[in-house]
Amino acid sequence: MEQANITPPQALPGEDKTVAIVAYITLIGFIIAIILHGQKKTALGSYHLRQALGLMIAWIAFWIAGMILAVVTLGFGALLMPLIGLLFLIAIIMGVVAAANGEQKPSFLFGKMYENWFKTAFN
């Protein structure tokens, strides 16, 4: 099977990447990115705000599931928590790199789903 070589959309020349990058940097950074985006809306900023929102929600869901698993299995689930944290850290770093490059590239962690779930957010 041949795989199509599809390149993600690029930022428009001169489009500000600040919102896209700051969106991934903690909850406070996400809130600042929303405020900045409200002043100057860009397609790149909207896209990465949606991806960052999805990653935050997924991280919270996985954290809760890990805590429940840790209680139910008497601590065994706690062994998974560092791996889950590392997985999300990698996803965040990849998101920041894509934002810095001006790419609208979905996260490998449910990124396509975030596009569908939050398609009307931050427009």
List pLDDT tens digits, range 78-94. 788 888 899 999 999 99
Residue 88 lies in a domain: yes
Residue 10 lies in a domain: no
Q: How far is CA 39 from the centre of its chain?
A: 21
Confirm whether pTM is higher than 0.85. Answer: no
Domain count, the chain: 1
- Where is pLDDT greater, at 110 or 15? 110
Residue 90 lies in a domain: yes
> What is the token pair recorded at 57?
């929600």
Helix (H, G, I), strand (E, B) or coil at 105: coil
Residue 122 lies in a domain: no
Residue 3 exposed, middle or buried by CB count within 10 Å (0-12, 13-18, 19+) = exposed
Residue 5 lies in a domain: no
Residue 29 lies in a domain: yes
Instruction: For residues 96 and 5, give the distance between their C-alpha atoms in angstroms, rounded to a whole number.
Output: 22
Residue 8 has pLDDT above 60, yes or no: no
pLDDT band for position 5 (50/70/90)? low
The parent domain of residue 25 ranges over: 18-117
